[in-house]
Amino acid sequence: MSSTTRTTELMKFFRISALCAVVLIALITILGKGGGDGGTTTSPTTPTSPEGLWNGTTDDGRTIAGLVLDDGTYWFIYSPVGNSTLIAGVVQGDGAGQNGSFTSADARDFNLEGLGVIDGTISGNYVERQSLDGTTTYPSLSDQVIFTSTYDTDYDLTPSLSIIEGTYTGAGYSSGGVELVFVTIFANGTLSGNSAGGCSYTGSVSTRASGNVYDVAVTFEGGVCVNGTATIDGIGYFDAASNIVTTAGLNNTRTDGFLFRGVKPDAQGDQSDLLKKIAETGELSVIVGLKLPPPGFVPEGTLTAAEIAQQRETIAVTREAVLDSLGGFRFTMYASWESLPSVALDVDVTTLKALIDSPYVTTIQEDESQFAD
């Protein structure tokens, strides 16, 4: 199959694993190198496999970020063609590495561009803690994708629950599509979250013995949740430089899963990238996080019916306060959520600056067409 056909008809690829945040999910962009204080630098033993955090590209113009764990399990996130800021899918499987050769017979590509779940194989070569290159083959599509990647030393940092603890706002991806999601990770390793569509879930996060990676388990609470009441297991990666977490997990049959990439509120400080972009475009679609009074936002799955009603009223009042404070500025509200402390706005540069200075705002993120029309 030609490269053009692959781009327009498949939009698929490879990105050997990793929630670099993504993450994971850094994305942020998740698919770029994080760097910074993700944890304490350790003196790891030299891997005897392609274990590590890898960043790279494919021959069809995608950015990839991936994790290969000490047991050979891998997770790769990849971007759309020519746009490293968005997520187009994730590749997961079990690999075997020996003497510089890496192979996997059970690669599964969870494509978010309309292709669904695609089986594949991987054959490649690695130089420990330096490079991981290879080819992902998709028999059902009669297609291949070539990838190259380099080792990211952020993998050598020590993961810590005290570092990853916090409430994150971001995008949740599943076979049902993408929607706004809030996830809270607590210092004791528990987590809870809910989506704009009303799906709630709980779970756990724990540090792995090898690498700057977290084990993540999430159990959905049924109702509108695409995953029903299933428990999914996967991994997480935290990029301390951007305060972005990326997590990815699959159900036990590897037929569906959940991918999340979100940012902590205290990442609000430096908005230079947004200001630079809006100076070039004149207008920007953003998701604005609302600052609720103490105790702040609490995922609805942990609240009683009365507490949910009270919190939703607080969200509505805070949202109106933000909009009222923008009187005289140019903006359009194109989305809001009764259960989540966020509002989606089209803004110009003066409005963006007012939001950055607002005492009612915790985070401002570019929508990146994930929720905008």
Residue % of the chain over a pLDDT of 90: 59
- 254-311: pLDDT as tens digits: 999 999 998 886 545 567 888 888 999 999 999 998 988 888 888 887 788 899 999 9
CA distances 98 to 95, 124, 156, 373, Å, are: 10, 11, 21, 48
pLDDT for 318 equals 93
Which residues of the chain carry a pLDDT beneath 50? 1-37, 42-47, 267, 370-373
pLDDT for 366 equals 85
Domains of the chain in sequence order: 1-264 (no CATH), 269-366 (3.30.70.80)
| CA-based R_g, the chain, Å | 20
Torsion sign over Cα 170, 39, 234, 72: positive
- Map residue 253 onto helix, strand or coil: coil
Burial of 163 (0-12, 13-18, 19+ CB in 10 A): middle
Among candidates 139, 13, 140, 103, which has minimal Cα distance to 65?
Answer: 13
pLDDT for 243 equals 85
Alpha carbon distance 17, 246 (integer Å): 11
pLDDT for 32 equals 34
pLDDT for 344 equals 92
pLDDT for 368 equals 65
Structure tokens at 229: 């009441």
pLDDT for 85 equals 79
- 143-156: pLDDT as tens digits: 999 999 999 999 99
